[in-house]
């Protein structure tokens, strides 16, 4: 489940980001970050799948499906972002 799919599913239910955030127990900015590809909902993926009625086999886990290069790039992006906030 990726960001565009989360957005599509949310919009198909005519929900706001804040409403979906309440359902899965996060803030609306977290949902926005998922939908825009800034973060991955790895610890809420099961709940999202359950809420949207998706089988666990409908689409691969983004962490398992991502290439090593993609994962490393995401880790570097996050580390750089944290470093810039700390300074």
pLDDT tier for residue 1 given thresholds of 50, 70 and 90: confident
| pLDDT value of position 66 | 56
Please, what are the domains in the chain?
3-86 (1.10.260.40)
Residues 25-76 have pLDDT tens digits of: 999 999 999 999 888 888 888 889 889 988 766 555 555 555 666 777 778 8
d(CA 75, CA 49): 25
Higher pLDDT, 20 or 62: 20
d(CA 82, CA 84): 5
Q: Given CA atoms 55, 50, 53, 7 in this order, what sign does their dihedral have?
A: negative
| pLDDT value of position 76 | 85
Residue 3, both tokens: 């960001």
d(CA 78, CA 46): 23
């Amino acid at each position: 489940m990726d960001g565009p799919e989360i957005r599509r599913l949310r919009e198909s239910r005519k929900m706001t980001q804040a409403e979906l955030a309440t359902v899965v127990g996060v803030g609306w900015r977290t949902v926005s970050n998922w939908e825009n590809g800034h973060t991955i909902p790895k610890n809420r993926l099961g709940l999202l799948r359950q809420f949207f009625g998706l089988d666990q086999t409908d689409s691969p886990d983004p962490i398992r499906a991502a290439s090593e290069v993609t994962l490393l790039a995401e880790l570097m992006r996050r580390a750089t972002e944290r470093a810039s906030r700390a300074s």
